[in-house]
Amino acid sequence: MSNAGFIDLGDNVIVFDTFNTQQASEDLKMIAEKATNNQVTWVVNSHWHGDHIRGN
């Protein structure tokens, strides 16, 4: 329903948009941290539409 993802910066991980629900956001965070072996340190929202920010 929306685009979201994460960026591995080496020591930091940025989540880009947080999907439409808190559960989807938690799943994205878990996958990002598992894939990179680093904690998510930043969240960036591309714009205000609910399918990009409701996971905040």
Does residue 9 contact residue 42 with C-beta atoms inside 8 Å? no
Length of the chain: 56
Q: Is the pTM of this model over 0.85?
A: yes
Q: Which residue has the higher pLDDT, 1 or 56?
A: 56
What is the rounded distance in angstroms from the CA atom of residue 4 to the CA atom of residue 9?
Answer: 16
10-53 pLDDT, tens digit per residue, is 999 999 999 999 999 999 999 999 999 999 999 999 999 888 89
Check residue 43 and give its pLDDT.
96
Check residue 2 and give its pLDDT.
76
24-33 pLDDT, tens digit per residue, is 999 999 999 9
Domain spans in the chain, listed from the N-terminal domain onward: 5-53
List the beta strands (DSSP E) in 1-56: 5-8, 13-16, 40-44
Nearest alpha carbon to residue 15 among 45, 54, 51, 49: 45
